[in-house]
Structure 1
């Protein structure tokens, strides 16, 4: 597709709107949000993730399988162990923005403003 004629992905007519809704639906689960937050700093095994999110390894595996199908997480195998990581920074940014929005809903002085967390650049 020619870059000069490529449709902006952020317009109301974007062909990506339905896929974006699917991403939001995939992230509409507290365990999955916690998994994404845990994976921000690098890859982790299922057992380590299970400890962090306080769920069984089986439950975390099922959530990871869904996130993997949605291409939100990727894997690396080391012998018999599988390590998960975020495929790119977008899911982490979406979750962070949702957390920031939740802070605004609960307080007039959200923590992310106090810590100097920069606001995302407008596009």
Structure 2
């Protein structure tokens, strides 16, 4: 089988990443393209917090924060658990903190 035929059957790979993975990666980076979402992620990198704590830290209204929290949860960057009547949010895993730290290092170079 020729290389071209193989690529057509398996989908083009760029740097070992197929087209579907490239699209998923682009979607992930879109989550970091909004300053409010970045603020929320940085705030939660300090530890889990309720919506009201996030609102207070960011000096934003609950509607705006809740909207962005939903987007971040759908992107699987955040986890949430119920504590009484409150939702408590945290980063989904250490990868999120690593992406933020690496981005910060990059802009400081």
TM range (shorter): 0.7 to 0.9
Aligned-residue RMSD, C-alpha? 1.3
- Which structure is larger by alpha-carbon Rg, 1 or 2? 2
Report whether the alignment pairs 1:94 with 2:99.
Answer: yes
Structure 2: which 5+ runs fail to align?
A: 1-13
Report whether the alignment pairs 1:13 with 2:16.
Answer: yes
> After the TM superposition, which segments of 4 or more aligned residues of structure 1 sit over 6 Å from their partners?
none
TM-score, L = length of structure 2: 0.80
Count of equivalent residues: 94
**Which of 45, 55, 69 is residue 60 of structure 2 equivalent to?**
55
Alignment partner, residue 119 of structure 1: none
Deviation of residue 78 (structure 1)?
0.9
TM-score, L = length of structure 1: 0.71
Name whichever structure is richer in strand by fraction.
Answer: 2
Name whichever structure is richer in helix by fraction.
Answer: 2
Query: Is the deviation greater in 76-85 or in 13-22?
Result: 13-22
